[in-house]
Structure 1
Amino acid sequence: MSTERRAPLDRRRVADTALALLNDTGLDGLTLRAIAKELDVKAPALYWHFKDKQALLDEMATEMYRRMVAGAALDPADTWQERLRKANRGLRRALLAYRDGARVYSGSRFTGTDHAVQMEETLRLFTAAGFSLARAVRAAATSYAYTVGFVIEEQGVQPLPDERREGFDVAERARLLADFPLSAMAGAEIFEDYDRQFEEGLEIVISGIGARYGIG
């Protein structure tokens, strides 16, 4: 009889296992049954820790955040613009590390207060730069929504960086839209070079925030 002891089952271990499975199954295929099988336990054992799949997604998003910020100290010398650039670039990298990463993260509720450390520092930086608290929150929330939405669309085409879904061939799209030349040419702008697209869009958001609130 094996004397090997398994690590105790807890919320973090379940979330770690779910994140490890995500790249194979995608969000739609990620079931409590599949996670339980990977952990070598019965599915009902997971309900001691998570009442439903959304509760698990909340813990997965929290763990994604912990991994994203681990060792990434904020620079107090950042301008508000640079803080938004760094935060949203880091968020995009974190979401792209998992199949359906943006869908997991979107709408989830953090299960602890880990996020409050960076949130507090960022809001302090913004208010020191001249933003009211309300405007600081709106600026951060708007850039966050841009990034999450961008990655949801990006992963709809490229579920992982080295994959591309069938049906998103730019040349074939151009052929089908030959009677609509501008729309045909737009395909390369919509479905290729996501790094460039993201950076340009982020700069539009940041410039818009500055222009809207009159803060340079």
Structure 2
Amino acid sequence: MSTERRAPLDRRRVAGTALRLLNEVGLDGLTLRAIAKELDVKAPALYWHFKDKQALLDEMATEMYRRMAADARLDAAGTWQHVLRTMSGGLRAALLGYRDGAKVYSGSRFTGIDHAPDQEAYLRVMTEAGFTLAQAAVIGATVNAYTIGFVTEEQGVQPLPGERREGYDVEERARLLADFPLSAAAGREIFTDYGSQFETGLEIIIGGVEARYRQAPP
């Protein structure tokens, strides 16, 4: 039996094992039974730590955030625009590290306060830039929702970097839509170069923030 399997069972260890399995089987294939088998325990043992799969997903999302924060804390020294770009780009990169990462993260509730230092730093940057606390909260939530939604769609086409789901061949799509030339051509913009797409969308949001709250210092 491996050292990992002999280690005491706790929430964080279970979540780490689940994240590793996620890349192999995806969210639909991730079951408590499969996780228990990997840990060499009986499935009921996991219910001491998680009452249901959503509770496990909450811990998995929290562990994803812990790992992201460990790699780089939010740099509060730059402009608010820089902070939004850093925050959103870092989250996207973290979610792309796991098959169905955005689906796991979406709607999950953090099980601790690991996110508090970065959230406090973000809100401080925004309020010191002239935004109200309410405005800063809405802007942050909007950028967060954009990032998670974008990656959800991105992973629907490319589950992991280098993979591409069947049915998303751009040339085949263009052939099928030959009678609709604009739609056919748009496929090359929609289903390729996700990094560039993401950055463009984020700049649209930042531009919208500047336009709506133009009384805030640039």
TM-score by length of 2: 0.96
Q: CA deviation at 1:75?
A: 2.6
Partner of 1:110: 110
After superposition, where does 1:189-200 map in structure 2 within 5 Å? 189-200=189-200
Q: Is 1:29 matched up with 2:29? A: yes
- Contact kept in structure 1, 2:74 and 2:86, CA below 8 Å: no
Q: Return the alpha-carbon distance in structure 2 between the equivalents of residues 189 and 122 of structure 1.
A: 32
Partner of 1:123: 123
Q: Return the alpha-carbon distance in structure 2 between the equivalents of residues 153 and 65 of structure 1.
A: 20
SS at match of 1:70: helix
- Contact kept in structure 1, 2:58 and 2:108, CA below 8 Å: yes
Partner of 1:97: 97
State the AA in 1 paired with 2:16. D
Q: CA deviation at 1:172?
A: 0.5
State the AA in 2 paired with 1:46. L
After superposition, where does 1:64-213 map in structure 2 within 5 Å? 64-213=64-213
Q: Return the alpha-carbon distance in structure 1 between the equivalents of residues 99 and 108 of structure 2.
A: 16
Q: CA deviation at 1:210?
A: 1.2
> Structure 1 residues 87, 12: CA separation in 2 closer, same or farther (over 3 Å shift)?
same
How many pairs were matched up? 215
State the AA in 2 paired with 1:123. L
Q: Return the alpha-carbon distance in structure 1 between the equivalents of residues 84 and 17 of structure 2.
A: 31
Query: Would you identify which runs of 4 or more consecutive aligned residues in structure 1 move more than 4 Å?
Result: none
SS at match of 1:94: helix
SS at match of 1:160: coil
After superposition, where does 1:42-81 map in structure 2 within 5 Å? 42-81=42-81
> Structure 1 residues 71, 184: CA separation in 2 closer, same or farther (over 3 Å shift)?
closer
TM-score by length of 1: 0.97
SS at match of 2:179: coil
State the AA in 2 paired with 1:43. A
- Of 175-184 and 206-215, more deviation after overlay is shown by 206-215
Q: Percent identity?
A: 74
Residues 127-154 of structure 1, C-alpha deviations (whole Å, 9 max, x = no match): 0000000000011110111100000000
Q: CA deviation at 1:72?
A: 1.3
Q: CA deviation at 1:74?
A: 3.0
Q: CA deviation at 1:187?
A: 0.2
Instruction: Give ranges in structure 1 of 5+ residues lacking alignment.
Output: none
Q: Is 1:12 matched up with 2:12? A: yes
Q: CA deviation at 1:71?
A: 4.0
Q: Return the alpha-carbon distance in structure 2 between the equivalents of residues 126 and 204 of structure 1.
A: 18
State the AA in 1 paired with 2:18. A
- Contact kept in structure 1, 2:76 and 2:83, CA below 8 Å: no
Q: CA deviation at 1:162?
A: 1.1
